[in-house]
Structure 1
Amino acid sequence: MRKTKILVTLGPATESASVIESLIRRGANIFRLNMSHASHEWTRTVYQRIREAATALDTDVAVLMDLTGPSIRTGDLAAPWQLKTGDVVELRTDATLPATTELSTTVNYPGITKDLKPGDPIAIDGGMILLRTTSTNTHRVQTEVVTGGEMKSRRHINLPGVDVNLPPLTRKDYADLDLGVEMGVDYFALSFAREPAHIQHLELLLEQKNSQARVIAKIENQQALKNLDAIVQASKGIMVARGDLGSECPLEDLPIIQRDIIERCSYHGRKVIVATQMLESMIENPVPTRAEVTDIFNAVTEQVDCVMLSGETSVGKYPVSCVDVLDRVISKTEKRYPSGRFASDAPLKTNKHKAVKAAVQLANSIPGSRLLVFTKGGVTAHLLAHQRPEAAPIYAFTENLAVSRACMTARGLFPFVIEFCAKPAETIERAITLLRNRKALVKGDPIVILSDVLHDELVVDSILLREA
């Protein structure tokens, strides 16, 4: 039972129904729809294929819609530029103004002229190209190329160390949000989340639209790092977006930042996804580098909830093999290092927290045990997952399909939808029978059951130890 979940980005290489089915067979748990590169027509079609493939395989997966966010981009170029160190590049915030240099393009963020000052760096295309600001005026930024390379149209811009004044969502994001709610996606990833208010704004919109989707905040710049604790607490989970972070921060700081984010998520009991370049070389090559395998190993031993593939599966040549590599490396690592190194050490604020902790400690003390949890809204199931049981998998049972799919992203949590009976004992027997039929339990296996029972009109958390 692999505990660390695999999140796969769909794209031209993986949009067909047959490939989606293959990805699920190989172990994909969550599918990402990247709205930076997707039309609404394509998104509808692929979403339907995901659901149909999961149904055909008698399983379920979660779907995450990644909103584009207020990204800063260059304009369109007639042809790619071959930039050399020392070249002068102009960025214009007004497309109607004439160019004053041979290399001049527009930028979609008017505030860039106010935010930058001479000497400030400008990273383009994930840091592949680096410019240095030389001067600014009302509508123009003059720069000098520090690190050259090929620059194409509509390249993403990072402004390391600069606090940008951008809204949390763009007009396109609002339209994409409506589409995601209509389809019923399970998670929305908020790009360039910089403060808790941005997450709260999106959650309020979802509440108004009667959506049960959760918000994952993407940590992508230094503004977010300054507000990390508050952002972690405000969200349902964090994505460590190492691509943009690597452009915003010194490279030698990136592993330390990743570890700090993971520990903050552990402390506050939030999910954490490690993303970007997990298997980058497999976009072109059939096998990963040894360094990439070690990167996966490190993420798993840090007890993350998910690892994510982006270009590897959206446009790569070997998307199914990438999932297979992740599955094999994760499974081997978890077998060798099952302990809960980063189990949540957050204060036990409520009786429910204490009950969850006690259930995990009991399961850890009984070899071969399984954890069963019965939950209406998923809270207890997620609390159990955040405690990182050492060996016992967690089987979560709920009547709500949206709650079940939301559990897909949590480490070691395997959800099922069943009908709850009036008598709790009958519900438990129904769950045990389901797990026996799926070969997840055999007669005599020790099981620790956590559920809420009604006693004198009070909801009481109960722990039951029995055999399957």
Structure 2
Amino acid sequence: MRKTKILVTLGPATDNPAMLETLIENGANIFRLNMSHASHDWVRTVYARIREAATAKHTDVAVLMDLTGPSIRTGDVAAPWMLKSGDEVEFRIDESIPTTKEYSTTVNYPGLVNDLSVGAPIAIDGGMIQLQTVAITPQRIFAKVVTGGEMKSRRHINLPGVAVNLPPLTPKDYLDLDLGVELGADYFALSFAREPAHIQHLELLLEQKKSRARVIAKIENQQALDNIDALVAASKGIMVARGDLGSECPLEDLPIIQRQIIAKCSYHGRKVIVATQMLESMIENPVPTRAEVTDIFNAVIEQVDCVMLSGETSVGKYPDRCVDVLHRVITRTEASYPSGRFAQDAPLKTNKHKAVKSAVLLANDLPGSKLITFTRGGVTAHLLAHQRPEFAPIFAFTPNLNISRTLMSARGVFPFVMEFNGDPSKTIEDAIKMLRQRNHLSGGDTVVILTDVLHADLRSDSILVRTV
């Protein structure tokens, strides 16, 4: 069974019911709704289709709502500019300010004139266009083109090494958050998270709205890297958003940064998602490049929880093939490299951590064994995933549908919704029966059972070994 989860971004290429069913059949575990490009009507329609498609395939999937965040963008331009080296571009902080240059547009962040300094680099459209700041006035920024290219309306701006004073969420984000909570989104991705207070702010809002969704902090700029230890410790999960991050740091540092973040997440027991350009060439081509296959391989042997597809599935020509390629490469890699070094360094802070580690070591020593856990809040299942069992899948049973879906992102965890019987033996038998019906267990298989919730009057971690 494939342990690394596949996160798929939806868009015009994949929002129809038939394609959603195909994506699920090919291995999609989580669907991403990118609020930078989504209307509320579209989200409502697609969310319903996701749930219907999962029901039609007799399975379940999770939904992640990716909040736009306080991104800095250019304004509208009448027609695309073909910028070349040496051209000068004017950025105005308000539409009412008159233009003084041939190439002039607005920015949606007036504070940019205070955050930038002369000589500071400006990267547009993921670094495809590079500029350098040459002059700043109270209302305008002037920059010279270093690397030219085609610039269209509302392009994203990166400011490598520049600390910006943006809020964690925008007015649009608050409206999108209300929609996501109403629909029942399982995860919210916090774009441009820069400090722990940003994560805590979103988590408090979710708590007030009585949502059990988990927050994934997206690491996208230098400020986040400067605070990475605190961000990892404060989060439930981290997304290595290599698109914006690659525009904010030297390219030669990006793979090192990715590896360091994965190691920190493993140490602290946090989910980690690697995103952006996993199969970028397949937006147009039916097969991946060899380099892309190797990129997937590297993420899997680092034992990340999820790998994510973006434009490949939202607007690409071959979205179903992309998911199939990910599934095949991940499955083959996991079969050859079941162990990882990062999880071995994770500290065992409590007796529960030690009990989980013992169960995993026991499963590692019993060939062909499976791990089963019963969990009301998902904690034990998440801890098992953090310890990265070598071969054993983790079958997690919970009576709570929301908890089941928030376990979808955990590496190697396969969640099931099941009510617990008052008799512990009956609960275990019901779980084994369900797994046998779904061909996950056969007669003679060994199961290692870890739980602390089967006795209503006794909260005690128990490890049981049973032959089916």
TM-score (norm 1): 0.99
Q: How far off its partner does 1:339 sit?
A: 1.2
Does structure 1 residue 4 correspond to structure 2 residue 11? no
Check conservation: 1:344, 1:386, Cα contact below 8 A: no
Partner of residue 448, structure 2: 448
Q: CA offset at residue 200 of structure 1?
A: 0.2
Local SS of the residue matching 1:422: coil
Q: Which residue in the other structure is 2:397 paired with?
A: 397
Q: Give 3-state SS (helix, strand or coil) of 2:297's partner.
A: helix
Query: 1:67-466, aligned counterparts within 5 Å?
Result: 67-343=67-343, 345-453=345-453, 457-466=457-466
Given that 1:67 and 1:190 are in contact with CA atoms closer than 8 Å, whether structure 2 keeps it comes out as yes
Distance change in 2, residues 1:344/1:62 (3 Å): farther
Q: Distance in 2 between matches of 1:151 and 1:57?
A: 43
Q: CA deviation at 1:346?
A: 2.7
SS of residue matched to 1:326: helix
Q: Secondary structure of 2:286's match?
A: coil
1:251 and 1:463, CA in 2 relative to 1: closer, same or farther beyond 3 A?
Answer: same
2:52 matches 1:52 = yes
CA distance in 1 between partners of 2:455 and 2:183 (Å):
39
**2-structure distance, mates of 1:179, 1:233:** 28
For residues 48 and 247 of structure 1, what CA distance do their matches in structure 2 show? 35
Distance 1:342 1:19 in 2: 36
Shift, 1:231, TM fit = 0.6
**RMSD of aligned alpha carbons:** 0.9
**Structure 1 residue 347: Cα displacement:** 2.2
Post-superposition offset of 1:443: 1.0
Give distance in 2, aligned partners of 1:344 and 1:53.
38
Shift of residue 456, structure 1, vs aligned partner: 10
1:94: Cα distance to partner? Answer: 1.7
Post-superposition offset of 1:342: 2.1
**Shift of residue 350, structure 1, vs aligned partner:** 1.3
How far the C-alpha of 1:444 sits from its partner, in A, is 1.2
Q: Shift of the alpha carbon at 1:348?
A: 1.4
Question: Does the CA contact (< 8 Å) of 1:275 and 1:307 recur in 2?
Answer: yes
Alpha-carbon offset, residue 458 of structure 1: 4.2
Separation (CA, whole Å) in 1 of partners of 2:168 and 2:344:
30
Distance 2:138 2:340 in 1: 54
- Say which SS state the counterpart of residue 105 (structure 1) adopts: strand
Structure 2: tracts of 5 or more residues without a match: none
SS of structure 1 residue aligned to 2:460: strand
Q: Name segments (4+ residues, structure 1) moved above 6 Å.
A: none
What secondary structure is seen at the aligned counterpart in 1 of 2:132?
strand
1:66 aligns with 2:66: yes
AA of the residue aligned to 1:224? A
Supply the AA of the counterpart residue of 2:360: V
> Match of 2:176, SS?
helix
Stretches of structure 1 lacking an aligned partner (at least 5 in a row): none
Q: 1:234 to 1:94 in 2, by over 3 A?
A: same
